[in-house]
Chain A
Amino acid sequence: MSSDVRLLELEDLRKWFEIRRGFLSSKTNYVKAVDGVSFSLDEGKAVSLVGESGSGKTTLGKTIIRLYEPNSGRIIFQGKDVTHIRANELKWYRRMTGLVQQDPFGAFASHFTIFRSLEEPLLIHNTVKSKEERAERIFKALEEVRLTPVEDFAYKYPHMLSGGQLQRVAIARAIILEPKLIVADEPVSMLDASVRIEILTLLRRLQERLRLGVIYITHDLATTRFFSEWALIMYAGHVMEKASTQEVLRNPLHPYTRALLTATPEPNPENRNRFKEVPPGEPPALIDPPKSCRFSPRCPHAFDKCFKEEPPEFEAASGHWVKCWLYGRS
């Protein structure tokens, strides 16, 4: 297993947003959007972050690439603690990480051509000195994302491209600095169903070829099987279940994960594990949540302990972690 080089490690990571109640109130409340997340990712591997809207996936993604600074916990990248780095070190980290956002239409400055947009990272990091080399890199990146002939796209403005094409440009921009880690935040959820698979295939191929670590954020569990080695199920700022994607899909243990997956077998195996977007009930408010299992208000299996104490992560099977009292050995 020579390829198993640790790329990223999160240790009990927390990102709380401060909110002020009222104008003169000195009391500050926190939205505990990411509240104690730990996991690790090897080089060239992909992990899916799955959960319904508001569960903190985006916040976690942005914290990992340090668009947000964590309130506590640690981020170790290539063995280096990047939790609170600044200035030049942070700039280095920006080069080592990339971001693909959900909305391709908003992801580009409308007054820049595609070429100019792709040139920006190169100019900022000054990794490529001459104009010719920059052009070469930009054209190569456009080829990587199959926007050919490249000249047809390079000098267009964002509004002249379709959503799928723009998302390809966004991927090109994310890889142009040859990063080691990419956060793809629901990269296909705003695209036409017809191009989703194409974009995901592209991302997957690039990940394998460039040995990229990818954090793939989605609310569509079906696409994770197709994409990633690992799956993390998030709920209300917590990781509820964590295992290989296959394991999670074949053997979901957490009541929340099970609620996400419809039990009824479908004739089409492709659709068997369709993600149900809205499980019964409401996710809890993340402003000062109670000390309990965060799923307890909606959990059909909840018992006394669930309402009193937050469950730790139990290793229910080898490499399969579940944050639920049902799997506690006590």
Chain B
Amino acid sequence: MSRSKHAGGFRNALKEVFSYKSALIGIAILLLLVCLSIYTIITIPLPEAIHAWRSSEIWSKNPRNAQPEWIEIFYGKKLPRTIIVSSKGINASETPLEDGKRAFSLILFFNYDYEDFPPEIIVFFNSSYSEKLTIDVYWIRPDGEEIRLKRHTLRRPDDKLYLSNDLGLELQLERLVESKIGKANFTVTVERGLFMEYSKTLRVLKGRYGIRFESVLNAGDTLEAEVVVYGLVYGLAGTDHLRRPLIIGLLWGTPIAMSFGLAASILTTVLSLIIGTISGWYGGVIDSVIQRATEINAVLPFLPILILLTTFYRIDIFVILLSIILLNIFSLGIKSTRILVMQIKSYPYIEAAQAYGASNLRLILLYVIPKIMPPVVPAMISSVPGFVFLEAALSFLGLGDPFLPTWGKIINDAYTHGALYKGFYYWILEPAFLLILCSVSFALIGIALERTVNPKLKEL
């Protein structure tokens, strides 16, 4: 013991850890995740992130369940991004009529170069009117053909026109297509009808499209329009069922998962270390009480209790953390700590310290804990993934923090909205990938630490 290799070996131990390739990989991943966390915390402040994650309005111009942009690699074709064309800054032509009325005409053009059809088209109006505002909407194809789509009467000043969900329009377009190419051997949806090349094979007609709005405005009426042609892909991570960019949840999930995992593992480890130390150091009644507590704790069903707790109390991440810690500190690890402490207590250097007046507290904190800490650190690091997964699992079960965007919550959303069934694999795979990345990094470091602390494992 006296020639223990921990003596002043902290730097050496670090050096040794760095000599393992697996540890280096683990550290690299960890650094990456840490940088990601710092970047997230700085660029998207938490209140903003929570607000964004919980509001659906601000994402209305995002596509729903869009895959990440890089998914194109697997499709081998250019998938549509979201196109937004606004009437802002474009002069609508207005011709005065009698009674102060004006004939309104506006054309919004946009280029469509993608090799697939958009999933959805919505026109957002922004108007002010005194009586009633009726708008005729026309579609202009790249070849110059113009199709009258609809006559729409605004129900409120910021009304939306959902072209996609319009059965009448779908029927109209199907007939149009039939008149051009005969009976099509595919269903003609609104988007297909609008963007297809008139040929037997379903193909996008690339080029400049236009959408024209015609109306008669009363004196003082105004009308603005914004056309959103939704894409099939969005950003780095895609969107979910509420059109939210997953990247926000994934990014914020990183610091949350890491700090949760670390906090849970460090606190449970340190607290049970302290409890075990007290048990072994003082012995007697305190020891008996702690021993019985660990034995009872060992037979308590952990998850059901946690579920019970989280259903009874208003849950947030701190309540979850606290319950996990409380349910874990009286772990069986206390038994081995206790025996180790009883052994250390009998070492001459403890007696020497008592002889020069060291108090119990000092002995425990400065003489005993530093001795039993080194073998515990690897286990502590290795236990981080467990806690990260536990939090994810609780979120997945709907028992997580209701406000924070976490990986578990994203998986939960994906699962409840049939991501796998609908083929939205990215929705589950992205958070799962990060979860695994995070776990692997801690596990690799933990294993390397374990090897440096426990030389017997070195040959493995």
A-to-B contact residues, CB < 8 Å = 62, 65, 67, 91, 94-95, 97-99, 101-103, 105-111, 113, 120-121, 124-125, 157-159, 170, 173, 177
Complex CA–CA separation, A177 to B352 (angstroms): 14
**Known contacts A110-B4, A111-B6, A111-B8; is A173 also within 8 Å of B356 by CB?**
yes
**Restricting to B1-55, which residues have a CB under 8 Å from any CB of A?**
1-4, 6-8
**Which of chain B's residues have a CB closer than 8 A to the CB of A103?**
348
B-to-A contact residues, CB < 8 Å = 1-4, 6-8, 347-349, 351-359, 362, 366-367, 370-371
**Which of chain B's residues have a CB closer than 8 A to the CB of A98?**
355-356
**Which of chain A's residues have a CB closer than 8 A to the CB of B356?**
94-95, 98-99, 120-121, 124-125, 173, 177
- Pair count A-B, CB < 8 A: 79
A-B contact pairs, 25 of them (CB 8 A): A67-B351, A94-B355, A95-B357, A99-B352, A99-B356, A101-B348, A103-B348, A106-B2, A108-B352, A109-B349, A109-B366, A109-B367, A109-B370, A109-B371, A110-B7, A111-B6, A111-B370, A124-B358, A124-B359, A125-B356, A157-B7, A158-B7, A159-B4, A170-B352, A177-B356
Complex CA–CA separation, A245 to B7 (angstroms): 42
Nearest-Cβ distance from residue B1 to partner chain A, whole angstroms:
7
**Which of chain B's residues have a CB closer than 8 A to the CB of A110?**
1-4, 6-7, 371
Nearest-Cβ distance from residue B412 to partner chain A, whole angstroms:
46
In the complex, are the beta carbons of A159 and B348 less than 8 A apart? no
Complex CA–CA separation, A173 to B355 (angstroms): 11
In the complex, are the beta carbons of A159 and B357 less than 8 A apart? no
Nearest-Cβ distance from residue B372 to partner chain A, whole angstroms:
11
Complex CA–CA separation, A238 to B5 (angstroms): 43
In the complex, are the beta carbons of A97 and B8 less than 8 A apart? no
In the complex, are the beta carbons of B370 and A108 less than 8 A apart? no
In the complex, are the beta carbons of B349 and A124 less than 8 A apart? no
Q: Give the contacting residue for B351; candidates A101, A121, A173; CB below 8 A.
A: A101
Complex CA–CA separation, A106 to B350 (angstroms): 9
Complex CA–CA separation, A101 to B2 (angstroms): 14
Complex CA–CA separation, A228 to B352 (angstroms): 23
In the complex, are the beta carbons of A106 and B357 less than 8 A apart? no
- Further pairs besides A107-B352, A124-B357, A157-B7: 16, Cβ < 8 Å: A94-B355, A97-B355, A98-B356, A108-B349, A109-B353, A110-B3, A110-B7, A111-B6, A111-B370, A120-B356, A124-B356, A125-B357, A159-B2, A159-B4, A170-B352, A173-B352
**Which of chain B's residues have a CB closer than 8 A to the CB of A99?**
351-352, 355-356
Complex CA–CA separation, A5 to B311 (angstroms): 75
In the complex, are the beta carbons of A158 and B2 less than 8 A apart? yes
Nearest-Cβ distance from residue B56 to partner chain A, whole angstroms:
56
CB nearest to A111 among chain B residues:
B370
**Known contacts A94-B356, A120-B356, A173-B356; is A111 also within 8 Å of B371 by CB?**
yes
**Which of chain A's residues have a CB closer than 8 A to the CB of B6?**
110-111
CB nearest to A90 among chain B residues:
B357
**Which of chain B's residues have a CB closer than 8 A to the CB of A108?**
2, 349, 352
**Which of chain A's residues have a CB closer than 8 A to the CB of B359?**
124
Nearest-Cβ distance from residue B53 to partner chain A, whole angstroms:
46
Nearest-Cβ distance from residue B119 to partner chain A, whole angstroms:
64
**Known contacts A67-B354, A120-B356; is A157 also within 8 Å of B348 by CB?**
no
Q: Give the contacting residue for A106; candidates B348, B354, B355; CB below 8 A.
A: B348
**Which of chain B's residues have a CB closer than 8 A to the CB of A157?**
7-8
In the complex, are the beta carbons of B349 and A107 less than 8 A apart? yes
In the complex, are the beta carbons of A107 and B348 less than 8 A apart? yes
Complex CA–CA separation, A97 to B352 (angstroms): 11
Q: Give the contacting residue for B7; candidates A95, A159, A173; CB below 8 A.
A: A159
**Which of chain B's residues have a CB closer than 8 A to the CB of A101?**
348, 351-352
CB-based closest 7 A-B pairs: A94-B357, A99-B355, A106-B348, A105-B2, A121-B356, A110-B7, A157-B7
CB nearest to B346 among chain A residues:
A106
Complex CA–CA separation, A158 to B5 (angstroms): 11
Complex CA–CA separation, A18 to B180 (angstroms): 107
CB nearest to B2 among chain A residues:
A105
**Which of chain A's residues have a CB closer than 8 A to the CB of B2?**
105-106, 108, 110, 158-159
**Which of chain A's residues have a CB closer than 8 A to the CB of B354?**
67
**Which of chain B's residues have a CB closer than 8 A to the CB of A159?**
2-4, 7
**Which of chain B's residues have a CB closer than 8 A to the CB of A107?**
348-349, 352
In the complex, are the beta carbons of A106 and B1 less than 8 A apart? yes
**Known contacts A110-B2, A113-B8, A159-B3; is A67 also within 8 Å of B348 by CB?**
no
CB nearest to B359 among chain A residues:
A124
CB nearest to A116 among chain B residues:
B366
Nearest-Cβ distance from residue A171 to partner chain B, whole angstroms:
12
